[in-house]
Structure 1
């Protein structure tokens, strides 16, 4: 499974968010997403395995627990993808905002020039 597929699930995105501040144990992560999403510890473990296999997180044993942490490289790939998509859409959205502003201005000017209105655009 690739990174984008792995991050397509809301539970897995939340796990990555929880790991953004630093490593956490599997049990801590299971408690957090279990309370939030109503899933079991085994279900959380399956989500963590998907993230690990996609290279998004890594785990290491520390005594009796496993600590998980985010690997930054796959997230940098996602960021590059989002930047490329944004680069495509931003000029179009800016142009749309300009057209909306022109339409708003034209309607305001038309209502100000309408017969039976005073200087503030209200009826006398």
Structure 2
């Protein structure tokens, strides 16, 4: 699987998105990351493995604790990919606005029967 596909697959899960949000505030251990969730630390570790495989986090060991660190570069590629579609939809909505304005101007010019 290419990296962009891995990033989107990792982002598909709400728990993993929440983990990335937490890591945007700074590095954290598995126990710190697991704290707000009603799942086990091993489950959080599996989520972290998916994020690591996608290149969204890196992990390091300090004594017995494993810390995760956000790696934002892959998110830039995903954002650029999505921006192309945002521009498409913005152009589409702009054309729709123009068509609506033209329609409204045309209907104002014709007298009611």
TM-score tier after normalising by the smaller chain length: 0.7 to 0.9
Q: List alignment gaps of at least 5 residues for structure 1.
A: 115-124
Q: Distance in 1 between matches of 2:58 and 2:91?
A: 38
For 1:21, what is the secondary structure of its paired residue? coil
Alignment of 1:66-85 (within 5 A): 66-85=66-85
The alpha-carbon deviation at position 96 of structure 1 amounts to 2.4
The alpha-carbon deviation at position 5 of structure 1 amounts to 0.8
Q: Distance in 2 between matches of 1:92 and 1:25?
A: 45
Alignment of 1:7-86 (within 5 A): 7-32=11-36, 34=37, 38-86=38-86
Q: Which TM-score applies when normalising by structure 1? A: 0.73
For 1:68, what is the secondary structure of its paired residue? strand
Q: CA RMSD in A?
A: 2.3
The alpha-carbon deviation at position 106 of structure 1 amounts to 7.5
Aligned to 1:121: none
For 1:95, what is the secondary structure of its paired residue? helix
Q: Kindly tell me the number of residue pairs found equivalent between the two proteins.
A: 108
Q: Distance in 2 between matches of 1:104 and 1:39?
A: 55
Pick 1 or 2: higher relative contact order, CA cutoff 8 A, min separation 6. Answer: 2
Q: List alignment gaps of at least 5 residues for structure 2.
A: none
The alpha-carbon deviation at position 55 of structure 1 amounts to 0.9
Q: Distance in 1 between matches of 2:103 and 2:62?
A: 62
